[in-house]
Structures are given as C-alpha cells and as structure tokens.
Chains A and B, each alone.
Chain A
Amino acid sequence: MRRSEWIENPLERLIAIAGWAAMLFLLFPVVFTTVVSFGAGELIEFPPSGWSLRWYAHIGEIHRVGAAVLYSLLIASCAGVIATLLAVGVALCLVRLPVPGKALIGALVTSPVAVPIVALGIALIQFFIWLGISFTWYSLLIGHLVLVIAYPVRTLVASLSLSNPALEEAAASLGAKPLVAFFTITLPQMKPGLISGFLFAFLISFDNYPISIFLVRGALTVLPIEVFNYISQNFDPTPAAFSTIYTLLLALVIVWAERRWSIISLSVASEGGPGGKRSDR
C-alpha cells in the first residue's frame, strides 16, 4: 500500500478495521466450506490433513440429487418469473397510479419477509388444507411465491421511482399509445429491476429450506432438503463440495448481472443507480 493511502484519522482507521473484520467474519464460512471440500479424509476436518477432489465425484451420492435439482430449478424459475410479473403490476400501482391504500398494499406484499418463516409455513399448510389443495409442486410454488415476491417488488419500485415519468408523457406527445409507450419506454426503464428482482426471487426460492420442509410431500423434493438430509446422516465433505460449486455458480451469475445491470446498487436503491439515468437538471 502506498504511503499516501494510509488513513491518518484514528477514528477512520478504526472504522476501516471494523469493516474488514466484518467482511472476514462473513467470508469465513464460505472459505471454511471450500477448504473442507478439498479434504482427503472421510470426515470433515479443518484444516484437512490431505487434499483430494473425490468428494466432488461423490455429489451424485446425495439421495435423489438429480430429481431435487430439477424440482428446485423448476420451482425457482417459475417462482422467479411469476413473482417478477406480478411485481411489475404491484410496482406500477405503488409508484405511478393514484391508488388509495398504497402504503397498505406495499406493506402486505412485502410482509412475508418480516413474518417468521415458520409461521408462514404453518399458515400455508392450514391454507392449503382449508382450500383442499393437494401438496404437490404447485402448492410448493405458491408458497415460494408468497415468500419471494417482496424482492422483485422492492427492486421494481426502486427502478420505477428512479425513472422519469415525463418520459412516458414525451412518448405520448410523440404519438405513442399508452400500451406502446409502456412497452417501448417504461418497461426498458424497469429492466435492471426486472433482472435483479427475478434473480433475487430465483435465488431465495432455490435456497429455501423452511417453507419447503412444510410443503414438500411424497415424491416431491427440493435440493436444500436433500442436502440437509444427507448432512444429518453423514459427516463426510460431500455437502461441502456441493456448496462450493453452488457458491461459485452463484457468484458468477451475480458478478455477471452486476456488471451488466448493476443489480446490487439497485437493490440497495442508491440514487444515481442504473435506473437513475434521468437527464441532468
């Protein structure tokens, strides 16, 4: 580090140290899991006594891993797409339309994030029993939808709030019918919110254990459940190998999406984000 980059102010130095410490703390489980996955021993050990890739070859031993991956992908894709489409309507209504009770709608739609997931799971079970709906992939999908819709709503509200409503008026003055203006002007403005909203919904669904454990019955299964079952019966590093691959794929997707659409800046809803390209005043 060059001398000029040293932080002179002791308070600022303290904050910087705290920041790095927090980051190491957050990264530690990931690093731990990754290191463990390359261990040669039969049991999880840190640091490993020898190195091997054999646990990666062993991933297939996780019970029903193929079906679980497929189901998880199906549920997460459907939940992501449907939640994002629904969220477009919700966000338009929250940001652009003079709808009464906006705050209530916003609070309700985003409330599953704040409700304990156990309570949500129990509620969903009761709900489906009451309706007489069987517990299959689509009831699981509905459960996941309830959980994940908050994320695309948040990102879409952020991108819509950042886009300039005068753009739609400009389109109208140039002869665009309302629907045409929506698809050619409004929707492209929402693109970062659509992408990041879908990604968040997909990932939260793909990852979810608690809701799934309540709603999964019979032949249906999802990845987190099978991985957890494996862990509860075995102590070898196979799940670590699986997690490492999963983390790597996830990181690649997020880095790519962030490069392309700055999705992280949008989900934090900072000003001047990607949707914030409104012309300078």
Chain B
Amino acid sequence: MASVQIDDLHLALGGNPVLNGVSLELADGECVALLGPSGCGKTTTLRALAGFVRGDRGEVRFNGRSVDGLPAHRRNVGLVFQDYALFPHMTVAENVGYGLRMRGQSRLAIKAAVGEALARVELSGFEGRLPAQLSGGQRQRVALARAIVIEPDVLLLDEPLGALDRKLRDGMQVELKRLQRELGITTLIVTHDQEEALSLSNRVAVMFAGRIAAVDAPAALYRRPPRADVMAFLGRANFLSVTIDPSGVSAGVLTPMGVRLRAQPPEAVRSPAAGSKARLAIRPEHVQVRRAEPDAQAGEFPASVADLIYRGALAEVLLQVSPAGDGPLTLSADLPAEGLNVQRGDAVAVRLPDEHCLIFEENGA
C-alpha cells in the first residue's frame, strides 16, 4: 500500500500541452475517481502514474518517494485497461499468474495465489479458459484479478466499467467497491461517467483541460461545487444571470424574475462585489413547482410548462419563464413522476429555495 502524490505535473504530447500542472494526493488506501470529459488529460495522468509517460515538469511520488526514474515494470502498480488487454494466447490462470511469474514466484505459490484472486472476483473454475471464451463481464473480472494478485501499491482503473452494458455495470460497481474496501488498496479510477465517479470513490477529482478543477467527497462536491463548470459537469444544473443586491443587504441577489434570493456562494469562493453580475445555479431536483397563482411574497414567480420528459422515477419539467425586460429563459425541474399534476401548457408557480441556490462569479469559474 502506498500514498500517492502528483505534484504540479506538466506534460506535452506531440507539442500539445495535455497536463498543465496536475496536483492530486491520494491517502494510503483511499479510492479517488478522476472525472473529466474526454481529452481533459485524465488518462494521461493515469499513464504517468503507471510509468508509461513521464512529465516534462513536476513529480509523481509513491509514499513520499519520487518514482519518476522508475520504469513501468518496477513500479508495482496494478492496472486495469479500458479494453482489459488480456493476453489472448494465455489462459485465465496464465493471465492472472503472469505478474507473479515475472516476480519469480514458485509454480505452487502462483497456483495458490491465482486461485485466491479468481475466487475474489468469483471466477473459480475458469482457470483453463481463454479470454476469447469469456463474456465482457468475465474478462473485466480477470483483468481485475490479474491486477490485484500482485498486491500492487497502487491500483489504477481506466474506465473500468465503460465497456459493459448497463446491468452488468451496476453489478460490477457494487463488486468493485467491495473489493476496494476489502483490499484497502490505494486506487485511482479514471472515468468520464459522473455516476461511476460518485458511487465508487471516497473522493472525486474533476479535471478540465489538463488541470484538477475541484476535489472533494462525492456528496460535498455534488452539493457545493466550488465552480460553475464543475457543477455543470457533475450532474445537471440550471444557470441564471443575476445581480448581487446593490443595497448590500444580507448578501441577497436579484433574479431576472424580480425575485430576491438569499443565495450563498460556496465557501471556497469569495463573494462577488455588491451590484455586480453573477451566476445563480440550482439543481433541477431542488426547483419547486406548484399548480397555483404565484405568491411573490413567498419568493414564487410564474412560469409555463413547456414540456415534460418522463424519466422513470422522475419527470423532468421544462419551465418557460418570461422575465420582464429580459428574453425568455428555460428552467428544468425534476419532480417525482408519481402524482405529477402538471401538464404541458399549464401555468405554474415556481420557487427556488434559498438553501439550494449557489452563486458563482460571472465568468463561470
């Protein structure tokens, strides 16, 4: 086991900057998800940890010791590739035992360890199969067994569930989490799937354009993201252009709908100056919709239902708001699908609860 520090890592590939100062720490035994859109450099970060690429600047340390000079085969890192990269000419047992063979362990010790690793991923009895004879989910487990059997200091998972279908994915998600907890290996999961990131990790690091934009526990990051782009990437959000109350009274904001809200900027962000423009953000599940005359006193404003999108347990209600003097804007609200009493074209009263509104600076960061 090891702690991992990535310190101000810069890397350009073929003249294009890919990493622009990535800094991230993983505590011993911690599971961190590195989440970002494709091309943000998350896979390159993983490859730098594995030792396949080396930063132009900055440092990677395991347990406080720099590993920059260590080639991949001496890092003791367990890696699960996106397409699993199982050796097609070897059986399941040979695949899983490969790392131990490279470590010069005896045939007997390898056999025992392989058996144990396969049992952990519930693939006992598959020793003699070839990868081509396995299903996608089984291949994924073999890849996982192959990575953990060497008792790596760090486990790296590259889009581990990306190639599986929905149902398998949910099952593997639970299993991966159990394995990580049981083994207590320091783990970095690279993914572009926010749900995967939130559900699998102790902490989520959101990465944009070669830099870590935010790191926090999943729930905290979802509820109080420090930046507007992080909030938009991590789930869905409504954004409104607002003005910070020029009277400076109790940090309120004026919405285009003429409603005054007492929204707060996240702790990490300094408050925008009074009178300046800002962005207000609220998650769709927090937007309240009522079929009634809006009560301005209670902070409600009128809107009409432009569309309804059924999503199973929830229905997404698209609300058309026409603020005075401003162009029309659309808000999205998630309401429980059961007992939904609004229809397309209905006039409704909408409220944005203060406690769920976040304020970000105008430029988005």
Residues of A that sit less than 8 Å from B by CB? 164, 166-167, 169-178, 180-181, 184-185, 188-189, 191, 277-281
Q: Among B51, B150, B163, which residue has its beta carbon within 8 angstroms of that of A281? A: B163
User: B98 near A279 (CB under 8 angstroms)?
Assistant: no
Instruction: State A279–B130 Cα separation when bound (angstroms).
Output: 11
Q: A175-B99, A189-B89 are in contact. Are A164 and B83 (CB under 8 A)?
A: yes
Please tell me if B310 contacts chain A, counting CB pairs below 8 Å: no
List chain A residues, Cβ under 8 A from B98.
171, 174, 176, 184
Additional A-B contacts beyond A279-B86, A280-B163 (12; CB < 8 A): A169-B72, A170-B85, A171-B87, A173-B72, A174-B98, A178-B73, A277-B88, A277-B131, A278-B83, A279-B83, A279-B131, A280-B136
Please tell me if B260 contacts chain A, counting CB pairs below 8 Å: no
Please tell me if B76 contacts chain A, counting CB pairs below 8 Å: yes
Closest residue of chain B to A187, judged by CB?
A: B89
User: A170 near B81 (CB under 8 angstroms)?
Assistant: yes
User: B150 near A172 (CB under 8 angstroms)?
Assistant: no
List chain A residues, Cβ under 8 A from B79.
169-170, 173
List chain A residues, Cβ under 8 A from B102.
171, 174-176, 180
Q: Mark B143-155, 1 if CB is under 8 A from A, else 0.
A: 0001100100000
User: B83 near A174 (CB under 8 angstroms)?
Assistant: no
User: B88 near A279 (CB under 8 angstroms)?
Assistant: yes
List chain B residues, Cβ under 8 A from A188.
89
Please tell me if B167 contacts chain A, counting CB pairs below 8 Å: no
Instruction: State A16–B77 Cα separation when bound (angstroms).
Output: 56
Q: Which of B110-125 contact A (CB under 8 A)?
A: none
Q: A279-B131, A280-B136, A280-B163 are in contact. Are A172 and B83 (CB under 8 A)?
A: no
Closest residue of chain A to B75, judged by CB?
A: A173
Q: A174-B98, A174-B99, A281-B163 are in contact. Are A169 and B50 (CB under 8 A)?
A: yes
User: B52 near A169 (CB under 8 angstroms)?
Assistant: yes
Please tell me if B78 contacts chain A, counting CB pairs below 8 Å: yes
List chain A residues, Cβ under 8 A from B73.
172-178, 181
Q: Which of B24-53 contact A (CB under 8 A)?
A: 50-52
Instruction: State A124–B71 Cα separation when bound (angstroms).
Output: 46
Q: Mark B88-110, 1 if CB is under 8 A from A, else 0.
A: 11000000001100110000000
